[in-house]
Amino acid sequence: MWYGFSYAAADGKLMLIRDADDLVPSLGSVKIKTPADRLQYMTGIYGDRCYMIDLNELLKKKNIKFPPPMQLLIVKTTIIDDMGEIIPGEAPKFIRHL
């Protein structure tokens, strides 16, 4: 059972589920709390064609060798989180620039 709202993204599967005192994002019935959860969900759909990398690592390294079957690169960053903690009123403006 879910509480909260659903968003018209991810084929309508993106929801917030109440988990004790927290709201946890989910895709359908799968809770997505961490980047590792996100990668596990994506590999469940696309198999070993998915690869996750941190934005800082991607920007610093040259000639990164990705696994041969990779077709979907998932780039993670905490920039939005950092902006939300430092200047919460301005953070939404920066999302479109990432």
Rounded CA gap, 10 and 66, in Å?
A: 26
CB count, 10 Å around CB of 59? 11
Rounded CA gap, 14 and 27, in Å?
A: 5
Q: Mean pLDDT, to the nearest integer, of 64-69?
A: 87
Residue type, 38: R
pTM for this predicted structure:
0.69
> What pLDDT score was predicted for residue 2?
43
- The count of residues in the chain is 98
Residue 88 tokens, joined? 């919460």
Q: How does pLDDT run across 5-56, given as a tens digit for each residue?
A: 444 456 778 888 888 888 888 988 899 989 999 999 999 989 999 999 999 9
Residue 11 tokens, joined? 């084929």
Rounded CA gap, 53 and 55, in Å?
A: 6
